[in-house]
Amino acid sequence: MTITKTNLLDRYYTLKFNALLFFRYIKWPLVSFIALLIAFEVSGRCVSIAYQYASADIDSETIGKIVSSGSYSGSKGRTKRHNILYEYKVDGVTYTSRIIDYEYTTIDASSKIKQYYVGRNVRVLYDSTRPALSVLEITPLSASVIIRLLIALLIPFIVVIWQIDWKARAKRKR
């Protein structure tokens, strides 16, 4: 088979049509996935904590200092999350972080605030290839973070299934 200009144009338009068709099915699930990730990040840095947990290779340590220590209050005045900021230096560069551990919420944030008071020197564990990735305590990724990420993956999947089912029903009615 010889390749002609007509054959190439046919292939191009077929690929373009297939790409548009694929995008039509994936557009709203993709939008909902991105919106959920943004919502979870804004509501408690869930995505950045999961990213750091998955990507960091904690292999070095240095001494840092707690710069600020406080908490967020949830509904009914109960304290849900600590808000602790620490800074540390690696090779003359100063870094700051709020990630104490890989838990999304703390049952008793006041104990973390008492433990990490302003001015306290702390041991900072960090990734030597990317020193901005640091943590004060190595813990497993909390169930709350895992559940939120699964929701962020599951809802777009449900949207795709609903969209396929809706289009199939519309075709049957014709």
Residue whose structure tokens are 């200009």? 5
Average pLDDT value for residue range 141-149: 75
Domain ranges of the chain: 56-139
10 Å Cβ neighbour count for 108?
10
pLDDT digits (tens, 9 = 90+) for 59-83: 999 999 999 988 776 555 555 677 8
CA distance linking residue 103 with residue 120, whole number of Å: 21
Contact 95, 87 (CB under 8 A): yes
Q: Look at residue 131 and tell me whether its pLDDT is greater than 90.
A: yes
Question: pTM of the full predicted structure?
Answer: 0.59
Residue 161: predicted pLDDT: 78
DSSP states of 74-99 as a string?
-GGG-EEEEEEEEEEEETTEEEEE--
Radius of gyration of the chain (CA): 24
Which residue bears the tokens 């840095």?
Answer: 45
- pLDDT for the residue 126: 93
CB 33 within 8 A of CB 47: no
Fold topology of 56-139: OB fold (Dihydrolipoamide Acetyltransferase, E2P) (2.40.50)
What integer is the mean pLDDT of 12-35? 71
How does the average pLDDT of the chain come out, rounded? 78
State the pLDDT at residue 75: 58
